[in-house]
Amino acid sequence: MEMQLPPHEGDELSVVDMHTGGEPLRIIVSGYPEVKGDSVLSRRRYVREHLDHLRRVLMFEPRGHYDMYGALIVDSEIPEADLGVLFMHNEGYSTMCGHAVIALGRFAVDYKLVKEPQSPETQVNIHCPCGLVKAFVEYSNGKTGGVRFLSVPAFAFATDVTVTVEGFGDVMVDISYGGAFYAFVDAQRFGLDVTKSRTRDLVDAATAVTKAVKSQVKLHHPTSDDLAFLYGTILTDGKDDYSSEPTANICVFAEAQVDRSPTGSGVTARVALQYHKGLIQLDQIRTFQSGATGSQFTGKAVEETKCGDFKAVVVEVAGRAFYTGVSRFVQEPEDKLTHGFLLK
């Protein structure tokens, strides 16, 4: 039987679904109205103010779920960019997403968003809200493979900051930036293990830390106020000293959303933090494991740089993304739940 669209009104929304280390990425291919603005950051503000109903349609149930993640390809004002992208999730719009960059690198080559694929790697320049991110996609015999990317300048914002966390008292955290700001805490501070404890308990602890940091620590970013917000909290296994063995973490971001992957921008921020503390050197590769799924990324600091007055590093993160399907979504005007809902 030939598949046809069911009765509906308005444009269909076409997507390609992928995952990176278990973390979903819904790439929106068509159906969005024009996204206005003269920069990727201004387009991020525009979709938040004028097109947010479509984020809810595609991220929320019944078409998505509480932990769905999306990417909308937009124009970039940077000449060397192959594409611009806006990231979306259950709360709104983030500024950087490493797992999405890994997936988008492969997607860009497979869907011919770059003109001439090169072996053994094809470079894809992706303009994220945080800046230009260069991805390098394995390419051989017409097939794409693993992806590595070079981050925007990443830096430790503050270390050993004490915040008062509801239910846990005073907790010492580190705050680091990898395209987005994260708070880092050893899960053992809460009597938890990132690979064995109940996800609900990890989420509750991380969410409490995020709430405390947001209310007690003022963040700033040297280049844009749009980047100066805490995206989430990453609980770690505490194994920050250099080792060839994997170190595990779990990231809880946005509205208590759980990353199934090791978190690309989180790995970037964690590498910057470890480098700042003198725990790793340039080009020392570390393996980062998701506490949720066991999937792994690698990360290493490859170059010292500056971000405003902050000493920073460029971080290389590598992983694999896979396709899971394509979908064409529609809306019926009589459907009272067509705009989406979430169960918490």
Q: How far apart are CA 174 and CA 223, in angstroms?
A: 21
Closest CA to 297 of 9, 22, 8: 22
Choose, from 97, 128, 130, 251, the residue flagged as catalytic. Answer: 97
**Tokens standing for residue 125:** 């320049």
**Tokens standing for residue 162:** 């004490």
* SS3 state at 201: helix
Q: How far apart are CA 312 and CA 178, in angstroms?
A: 10
* SS3 state at 66: coil
**Tokens standing for residue 285:** 């590769």
Contact 340, 27 (CB under 8 A): no
Q: Which residues contact 288 (CB under 8 A, 6 or more apart)?
A: 246, 247, 248, 249, 262, 267, 270, 296, 297, 298, 299
Q: How far apart are CA 20 and CA 27, in angstroms?
A: 13
Q: How far apart are CA 71 and CA 118, in angstroms?
A: 25
The values of phi and psi at residue 122, to 5°, are -115, 130
Instruction: Using CA atoms of 192, 196, 202, 206 in order, give the dihedral in degrees to the nearest 10.
Output: 70
307 in active site? no
Catalytic residues: 97
